[in-house]
A = this chain, B = another copy of it.
Amino acid sequence: MDIEPRKVAFLGLGVMGGPMAGHLASAGHKVIGYNRTAAKSAKWRENLAQRGVDVSTAATPVEAVADCDVVLACLGNDDDVRSVLLGEAGALEAMKRGATLVDHTTVSPALARELAEAASAHGVMFVDAPVSGGQAGAQNGKLAIMCGGSDDAMAAATPVMEAYAARIVHVGDAGAGQACKAVNQVCIAGVLAGLSEGVRLAQATGVDTDKVLEAISGGAAQSWQMENRWPTMVKGEFDFGFAIDWMRKDLAIAMAEGKEVGISLPVTALVDQFYAQVQAQGGARQDTSALIRHLPEVSR
């Protein structure tokens, strides 16, 4: 890919941000990374150095973003984003005018709009850009990115984000990316609820679950989750994927947004409570498909 190299900062080098920032460097951008835990930044730099990729690190967000064309963040939750991006010691305050801020964290649409306003007041463009595709997508550089922001902001952010994206969709104005992500998670909650009950029914009736999958995965019941999670749900394997703790964070955002816009999300709310049971059973760090654990195991 022939890109125009940019000076970019990446804030948050966790399981998602780390590989994403690495892809930026591999693509030819000049990348400076920041992480709250400095040891993590150092580790990230070393790992890339071993692969011949050169990056630098900064001790604070302010130090990281100075002079950058594009600043990208992938943090934990609303509080983390506020703390790293906003306020006097926040990244935004230190960004140069005309630069672009991209937030990949899944946060509330309300915070996304607040960030957009703060950015605008500072002469900075903003894109809320939550991703889907999980850790695997981050590592393979094949994330789907749902974006909210102005056309100008998108024009500035897109060539950079392409370093790790399989798909970039400009959904609408500021907050639209986050709203889209909330919709995504609500849809997944329903799919997994049906799948959990379907797998248990298959197990309890004693049919060959592989044959059932073969029979139904090509039709109207098909879903990505069915194709990718049915076999592991049958086996009770959940130590991978997107953690329930994170899913509940996302569903809380969706339900808060639902409350804000005046709609009802009954099955989402129910699935969220079923996840509470799975957390109590020790599944907090397991993949979202561990939802099935709220239904007792079937012995035959």
Contacts and interface: CB of A to CB of B under 8 A. Distances in A.
Given A264-B273, A266-B274, A186 B194 contact: yes
A144 to B, nearest CB: 5
Nearest to A169: B215
A202 interface: yes
Contact of A180 (B182, B207, B254): B207
Contact of A270 (B191, B198, B266): B266
Interface stretch (A32-40, A87-95, A151-159, A255-263): A255-263
Copies in the complex: 4
B132 A211 contact: no
Contacts of A219: 132-133, 144, 184, 224
A166 interface: yes
Interface string A195-230: 111111110111110011011101111111110100
Interface string A125-157: 000000011100000000010100000000000
Given A192-B190, A215-B180, A263 B204 contact: yes
B144 A267 contact: no
Contact of A216 (B170, B175, B183): B183
A264 to B, nearest CB: 4
Contacts of A109: 205
A109 B144 CA distance: 40
Contacts of A211: 169-172, 176, 180
A282 to B, nearest CB: 11
Contact of A132 (B186, B220, B263): B220
A15 interface: no
B197 A266 contact: yes
Interface in A253-293: 254, 257-259, 261-274, 276-277, 279-281
5 residue pairs, one from A and one from B, having the closest CB atoms: A190-B194, A223-B223, A169-B215, A204-B261, A269-B269
A193 interface: yes
A111 interface: no
B267 A214 contact: no
Contacts of A166: 218
A272 to B, nearest CB: 7
B221 A132 contact: yes
A273 B281 contact: no
A295 interface: yes
